[in-house]
Structures are given as structure tokens and as C-alpha cells.
Amino acid sequence: MITILGTGLLGSGFARALLRRGERVHVWNRTAARAQALVEHGAVAFDDPAHACAGASRVHVVVSDDAAVDAVLDAARLDGSCAVYDHTTTSTRGVLARTDHWRHCGVTYLHAPVFMGPANALESTGLMLVSGDRTAVADATAVLSPMTGKLVDLGPRVDAAAAFKLLGNTLLMALTAGFTDMLGLAKATGIAPEEVAGLFDHFNPGASLPARFRRMISAPWDDPSWALAMARKDAGLVQAEAAEAGVELLMVPAVAARMDALIAQGLGDIDWTVLARDVLPPR
């Protein structure tokens, strides 16, 4: 029997996928109605995490944050009879503390965050990350792999999966902020959002992201492909268009301010990826 603690959009998708494969599934959610909604699919709903976990071979946690993970696991009153797989996006510090705490309690706790939406959880697609104790990861692979399109093992560092999940989310936030500013500039220049989307039929830098990132971390600042001063000029054009139309931008002003600070240091003629200088290892 498998227990799902947390049956929001992602947890309910996991539960339904397991039920489709013929597994017996116990579910719990802080809002009981969300767990109860899975009964019609074959799950057994509980009002108490400890009762939901009784007799489970493994427990999957899909809640909101570090505090919620700690609270539900404490309430579950676990022993060493089952492993815990936590799919919640949490801090690295929390993962380290929980792994150590539950190891001392005789319970295997493994963090396995995901890049998935509800449809991915239901269809067992998307991406799941895992890291930590080699034996625990090896034991987990057989049960986690069927739940995802791809299971990525990031090695023995206990908090690596948590860190890489946050790295990925940072990129998603940056893309969303960039899209927001694109839409702001489109509004300022009288271009419809649907027309903006058409730009990607011709200009789609997505495939070049890995190469761009590797170039950036190699710090090729003295061999510019786009000089910082020229990039700042273009950022200024964007800002001016938006300001004239009374449109507030989200991301570009912060980037422009960083450019200004570096240009004031005499760095205007080098590659604009010098923006990352202070967070890269010393050259």
C-alpha cells in the first residue's frame, strides 16, 4: 500500500496514476475534501496522517513548503517500515535537517522534487530529481521511475536535488519576467500579444540556452559578442519606449541598473555577460 500526503493538483495526479496501475493508495490532505475527492477513483481517504500511513510500504509527500513537510511527517508518526519520498520544493537546509533527523529515527527520507504540472503527474511524464545516499537512491529508482518521464540522479550530495530544483525555478521566473517585459514593450509600441508570439516562429533562442550559459561561465569578457555599452543602449531604448507609453517594466530596469554600475567601473567595452562577474569564481 502507498500513501500520498498532500493531494493538491500534483499529489492527486500521483495518486490517480498509482491507482490506474492497480496500486492500493491511502491519501490525506489538510483540506479533507481534496483527499475525499479521490475516493471515487479508488483511494482510501483519511483525516489523520498517521492513520493514512499505517501499513504503507512507502509514503509520498507533496505539500507546500518546509514547515508543511515537517508538520505532516511529525504527525505521521513514522517508523522504519516505510521509506519517505518528498516531492515538495523546499530549502536545501530543510532537506539536510530532515534527512539527518529521520535517519536517526530509522526512517529513509529522500528528497525527489519535480518539474511537473498536474497533467505530468497523472500521465507519469515530466522530470523528477533525486540525490543523496547511494543505497537509498538505488532502492528508490525502481519505484520513482514509473512516476515520471525521466528520473535524474544528481549524485550523493543530500541537498543537490533541492538546489537544482531551485535553480530551475529561477530560470522559469527569469523567463516569465522577461516575457512580462516583452508584453509591456509590445503594449507600449502597439503590438498585439498574438503578434509577439509569432516572433518565436523566426527567433527562438531556447535551443541556444545551454551554449549561452557555458559561454557565460567561461567568462569570455575580453572577446565580446555584444559589448556591455551596446547592450545598455538597447536596454535604454526599451525603457524609453515603455516610459513614453506609461508602461512599467519588471526586469529591464534592474538589469539596466547593474549595467550602469559596471559601465561606471570602466567595463563598457567588454562582453555583457560580465553581469555575472560577482557570482562567478574569480578568474
Tens of pLDDT, residue by residue, the chain (283 residues): 999 999 999 999 999 999 999 999 999 999 999 999 999 999 999 999 999 999 999 999 999 999 999 999 999 999 888 999 999 999 999 999 999 999 999 999 999 999 999 999 999 999 999 999 999 999 999 999 999 999 999 999 999 999 999 999 999 999 999 999 999 999 999 999 999 999 999 999 988 999 999 999 998 899 999 999 999 999 999 999 999 999 999 999 999 999 999 999 999 999 999 999 999 998 7
The reported pLDDT for the residue numbered 282 is 85
* Three-class secondary structure of residue 268 per DSSP: coil
* Three-class secondary structure of residue 26 per DSSP: strand
* CATH code for the structural domain at 164-279: 1.10.1040.10
Among 38, 32, 234, 227, CA closest to 121: 38
Burial class (CB in 10 A: 0-12, 13-18, 19+), 40: exposed
The reported pLDDT for the residue numbered 220 is 85
Domain boundaries, the chain: 2-157, 164-279
The three-state DSSP-derived secondary structure of 111-179 is ECCEECCHHHHHHCCCEEEECCCHHHHHHHHHHHHHHCCEEEECCCCCCHHHHHHHHHHHHHHHHHHHH
HSE of 270 in the Cβ direction (CA atoms, 13 Å)? 17
Contact status, residue 257 vs residue 221, Cβ threshold 8 Å: no
The reported pLDDT for the residue numbered 65 is 98
The reported pLDDT for the residue numbered 272 is 96
CATH superfamily for domain 2-157: NAD(P)-binding Rossmann-like Domain (3.40.50.720)
Rounded alpha-carbon distances, angstroms, from residue 203 to 2, 99, 158, 199: 46, 45, 39, 6
Q: What are phi and psi of 271, to 5 degrees?
A: -65, 145
The reported pLDDT for the residue numbered 81 is 87
Contact status, residue 4 vs residue 62, Cβ threshold 8 Å: yes
The reported pLDDT for the residue numbered 80 is 87
